[in-house]
Structure 1
């Protein structure tokens, strides 16, 4: 019996169906199996696109790190490069799971078709093989004449080519099933490679962050004071909008102080002060809200759950975009700026608020852990935390002078 016939008789189309539920991230795999093939294909396209973009970002950050003169800048670029590699591995995992789900979906449909034909085909194949192996001398002992036997053999010789012709489509489907089996095996191998790569990158990032903490103990003491002030504002604020408003006021005050003229230099000869011409001082203009932050990006990869302006269950319009990433996904800073708030906030898990130049502010909510300190400067793409492990959802809001704007309109 050929390999294809053995695969058919043994129910090979169902052989790998149980593997999906033993894979890492089985919940994500079950979600894919609940989708229509067109939806799974869209997920595959999205993950493939995000993997390519993350790889490009990682290459840019690595190049910037190699050319950075200051150690702090180099470390920041290295951390951003590692975060991009983590997001690339996460996208590769999502793509591998989507490929596996597509292969399994096709295998299930093929198995259903083959199941209808398998039983009669196996019986017919067995009968033909038994008849073909029966010795002619033994057949002569059976009731009937040799003429009848000749007639039966003649019928079989005519029927076998016709059976082969009519089962050509079936044999093609068996070959397709074997190809699907190989495709699923390749997807599983790619998934395992991406999982190993993800673990490696996360370990490297954790080691780098540990070196950063050891090298910036003095900065950490200053950050504690900044965090205390931010927490005090959070206690005073009525809600999240109020907190952002208070933080915007503090940011505006810092801009005003930074725009004040510097101290007047002390004259060398006090006797000349009466006749000396006054020194004209020109205050730097306070920056107005202008262009959005350069290279603005979404902080996490995933499918869109709620779009900007969509009505929520509460009836209120969404002021941001909510994404569903992989459990524990890497979250990065959407753009360069200063951390204005980082920590838990009522009803939003952990949040991070970043002040950008020109009166822009970004807000990231739904984090399980935040890895940045208030007052720290971050570059776009640097790690700021991770998503929750159960029911992950990350919301990004972008505001201009406190007013929400659609983040998708300002992606770099």
Structure 2
């Protein structure tokens, strides 16, 4: 009976200890969510973003492996690396959301355990008093020996009942231990992802530096175009004037590219009687222009939509694009394939990138802190452009057709 009583007492003492103790080694949570519902929504979104980023990276890897041209291979490799960076950023979001959910469930569990703590502590104290009472004292108290025997019989039937009634409590304590391990795993996953993110960004910076060196060695045309773009940015009164000037330069460049090459000297008709002046002077005719939007068009960054196309800002001015709120320092990529015609700071917009697509389409991306693109560079949808700002990381996307703003969401693939 004494052993049974001691075992029951030890079990209750253990319950009291676990109820009163907190979770050791709790990690600090990146509390960016107001409640568990938002954390669950963010968790599902981050998992989708990670899956899409991995799919893009694998597709770009295949394109790089099958490409025979060095420039196309380099574009695909850079886009694959940018997609992997976005995949790691999404993995960090997954770990943060999981940690918030674990901490939320642990707080609810602590509240339930605290409600049951008081009666358990009182029962534990009473049993401790009974167990520590020397048996010899019972011989000098009238009826105490009889009471002790009676109490032992009662405890023989009570301890199993206590164990049965506290089974759900022990299950919750086991759940608390599981939550503690899950919190440690989430923190470890986030730290590992942050380390991997730093490595990927270092690789991307090195790749961008190599591309700049190769471009400088190739010719000085890119530098001259960059200077023209910067000069145009200084003269333009607003962003509309800048885009209009860049479009005029792009139209001129397209007309020059469509001009026929040098006409070969006419052959001697006597040497080839079948040759005619029409055969000699025939020039290739340009293909008719199309109005198709950029293929595989996408958002430049993974983030929350905070301002829609056509909405009004604080100054009641109609927005010509979308405003996204990504994580701090997130990877920003090209929304569509084309040619970089402007990359640098512009008054009132921070660091911006303007991409000239085919068929008269233009994309404007603002809110960058660091640039990984240069003027004159050809990009594909997903090529790295730079990073979002560390403070107030808002990224804006504008899509224009012949200078007129259109809603980018209508063309997202």
Structure 1 length-normalised TM: 0.88
Aligned equivalents of 2:391, 2:77: Cα separation in 1: 29
Select between 339-348 and 220-229 the one with higher mean Cα deviation.
220-229
Measure the CA separation in 2 of the matches of 1:130 and 1:211: 78
Q: Where does structure 2 lack aligned partners over 5 or more consecutive residues?
A: 1-9
**Contact 2:20–2:117, Cα closer than 8 Å, also in 1:** no
Quick one: structure 1 residues 4 and 173, their matched pair in 2 at CA, closer, same or farther if it must change by over 3 Å?
farther
- Which position in structure 2 is the counterpart of 1:337? 338
Give the 5 Å matches for 1:127-276: 127-132=126-131, 134=133, 136-142=135-141, 144-219=143-218, 221-268=220-267
Find the structure with the greater CA-based Rg.
2
Distance 2:277 2:318 in 1: 60
**CA–CA distance in 1 between the matches of 2:77 and 2:276?**
53
Encode CA deviations 1:81-109: one digit per residue, 9 max, x unaligned.
11111111111001101100110111112
User: Match of 2:286?
Assistant: 284
Q: After TM superposition, list the pairs within 5 Å mapping 1:104-115 onto structure 2.
A: 104-115=103-114
Q: How far apart, CA to CA, are the structure 1 residues paired with 2:42 and 2:216?
A: 43
* Alignment partner of 1:78 is 2:80: no
Check conservation: 1:4, 1:174, Cα contact below 8 A: no
Report the more deviating stretch, 246-255 or 85-94: 246-255
Cα deviation for residue 147 of structure 1 reads 1.9
Q: Is the 8 A contact 1:256 1:286 kept in 2?
A: no
Distance 1:242 1:163, change over 3 A: same
Distance 1:137 1:72, change over 3 A: same
The answer as to whether partners of 1:331 and 1:383 remain within 8 angstroms in 2 is: yes
Look up the match of 1:11.
21
After TM superposition, give the deviation of residue 50 of structure 1 in Å. 0.6
Residues 255 and 286, structure 1, Cα contact 8 Å, conserved in 2: no
- 1:135 CA drift (Å): 5.3
Q: Could you tell me how far 1:309 is from its partner in structure 2?
A: 2.6
Q: By how many angstroms is 1:130 displaced?
A: 4.7
Give the Cα–Cα distance (whole angstroms) in 2 for the partners of residues 142 and 207 of structure 1. Answer: 88
Distance across 1 between alignment mates of 2:86 and 2:233: 31
- Residues 145-183 of structure 1, C-alpha deviations (whole Å, 9 max, x = no match): 322223333333343333333333322221221121121
Shift of 1:11: 2.1
Tell me, yes or no, if the aligned pair for 1:260 and 1:283 is still in contact at 8 Å. no
Residue range with higher mean Cα deviation, 151-160 or 387-396 = 151-160
Distance 1:220-1:324 versus aligned 2 partners, 3 A rule: farther
Gaps in structure 1 of 5+ consecutive residues = 22-28
Q: Offset at 1:280?
A: 4.8
Aligned ranges for residues 285-364 of structure 1 at < 5 Å?
285=287, 287-288=289-290, 290-364=291-365
Residue in structure 2 matched with residue 20 of structure 1 by the alignment:
28
- Structure-2 separation of matches of 1:220 and 1:189: 48
> Which residue of structure 2 lines up, in the alignment, with residue 382 of structure 1?
383
Return the alpha-carbon distance in structure 2 between the equivalents of residues 118 and 41 of structure 1: 30
The 8 Å contact of residues 58 and 82 in structure 1, kept in 2 or not, is answered as yes
Q: In 2, Cα distance between the equivalents of 1:64 and 1:159?
A: 72
Deviation at 1:256, TM superposition (A): 2.6
Give yes or no for contact 2:19–2:114 (8 Å, CA) kept in 1: no
Contact 1:8 1:114 in 2 (8 A): no
Q: Distance in 1 between matches of 2:117 and 2:259?
A: 86
- Equivalenced residue count is 398
SS in 2 for 1:250: helix
SS in 2 for 1:12: coil
- CA 1:4–1:296 in 2, change beyond 3 Å: closer, same or farther? farther
| CA displacement at 1:394 relative to structure 2 | 0.9
CA-CA distance at 1:132 after TM superposition: 4.1
CA 1:307 to 1:144, structure 2 compared with 1: closer, same or farther past 3 Å? farther
In the aligned structure 2, how far is the partner of 1:162 from the partner of 1:7? 20
Which residue in the other structure is 2:97 paired with?
98
Trace 1:41-60 onto structure 2 (pairs within 5 A): 41-60=40-59
Does the 8 Å CA contact 2:226/2:342 hold for their aligned counterparts? yes
**Cα separation, partners in 2 of 1:336 and 1:219, compared to 1, 3 Å:** farther
Pairwise CA distance, 1:311 = 2.7
Q: Is 1:366 matched up with 2:367? A: yes
Question: Per-residue displacement from partner, 1:344-390 (whole Å, max 9, x unpaired)?
Answer: 01111100000111111111100001121111111221111111111
SS at match of 1:243: helix
Bigger CA drift: 178-187 or 302-311? 302-311
Q: For the aligned residues, what is the CA RMSD?
A: 2.6
